[in-house]
Chain A
């Protein structure tokens, strides 16, 4: 992007510029958005094969299967969230720029969610079909995945920012993110169970929304600190 130095940028324009720039980069490399989706479908298929003819058990365990596979898909893709920008130095420029790093981080995670979390949400009908979850609760399950993948992206980005300068940070990233994921996992599975059983959703849904809001507002603070130290390393 060529810009003259005296041009005045609003925070909003910086946010959208980073968002669209990242989305363009992701879409030019098809693997970045196809791989997580492919991963979750393959693992869910493997689970279904593993359960064999016992479709009743599969339906009972489907909330935890959906959550664990979504968690792993997001976690595996998070390794690349800041990696290329770190390698080519644009991360350093982002930190040095006079624009708010908080908004830049938000834009980067949002772009990453668009190519990893959103395809999973859009694939909910397919996931429900494989696991034998009733189509009547499709909107509820989709909403659960929408909130859930958002929480997973924002919390996992903390670990990604801390390990981006390490040559083999992937395993460490999982080790750091897992304990932070546990609350989201507990309430997420609870929500899906309630949704599939047709129980009232307000308690678990409000917990999920609360977790997402807290993650969106607070996690960029830790991510900013993590990115700064990674660039100094």
Chain B
């Protein structure tokens, strides 16, 4: 029989905080290790691209940030669905914790893309491009969800409103994902493929394959930190929280 006790304990903020505290150093440490390894490998030891030279190295930031920004939205929307259907408080905390992380990641993807675009495409930004525009929409969606959540001053209605908005926004995700295939776009089509041979050299591919999990881990750590803040804020008047804060300091 699998042990399902942890599922009931998710409802207890105290248990959750202690568990987060226990896991956080490991996740954070592993994230730093993988990011350090992949970035040093990718930025210093990978051979330069035959056409783009050293400019291509920005993919070790750009691609993982974009991949995780999309995945974060999925995770947030799933948390939103759980919050609506089962009214789990944890799901709402997850939603609110992911939103700022996702917004920052989307911004990093857009920003690094613009920096890369200037020497390669000759321009920072193209308005007609579907991939760029849909990523920008994603950024605004994240901001809108944060604003909506906070407009209700932490009441349960704000949590449900943000959850509904996150579900409505999911229509954008497949559009972003498929935009480079559906429309004629300046953005190149996906080079990494699962079902056929990838169109990226192996030496360039290896560090990227470490950077992507590295970004995932780092974002997980950031979300966990955000959740700690949420728990502390929500239970700031409870006696156990006051005791906990005393032990910590």
Contact = CB atoms under 8 A, between A and B. Distances in A.
A57 interface: no
Interface in A200-228: 222, 225-226
Nearest to A179: B140
Contacts of A186: 133
Contact of A229 (B133, B141, B164): B164
Interface string B76-96: 000000001000000000000
B165 A233 contact: no
B168 interface: yes
B141 A179 contact: yes
B147 A175 contact: yes
A172 B164 contact: no
Contacts of B143: 175
Contacts of B164: 162, 222, 225-226, 229
Contacts of A230: 157, 161
B148 interface: yes
B245 interface: no
B161 A162 contact: yes
Contacts of A175: 140, 143-144, 147
Q: Nearest 3 A-B pairs (CB), nearest first?
A: A233-B157, A179-B140, A229-B160
Interface of B: 84, 133-134, 137-138, 140-141, 143-144, 147-148, 151-152, 155-157, 160-161, 164-165, 167-169, 172, 175
18 contacts: A162-B164, A162-B165, A163-B148, A165-B157, A166-B152, A169-B151, A172-B151, A175-B144, A176-B144, A176-B147, A178-B140, A178-B144, A179-B140, A186-B133, A222-B168, A229-B157, A229-B164, A233-B152
Given A166-B152, A172-B144, A179-B138, 19 more contacts: A158-B168, A162-B161, A163-B151, A163-B161, A166-B151, A169-B151, A172-B148, A176-B144, A176-B147, A178-B144, A179-B144, A179-B169, A180-B168, A180-B169, A229-B160, A229-B161, A229-B164, A232-B156, A233-B155
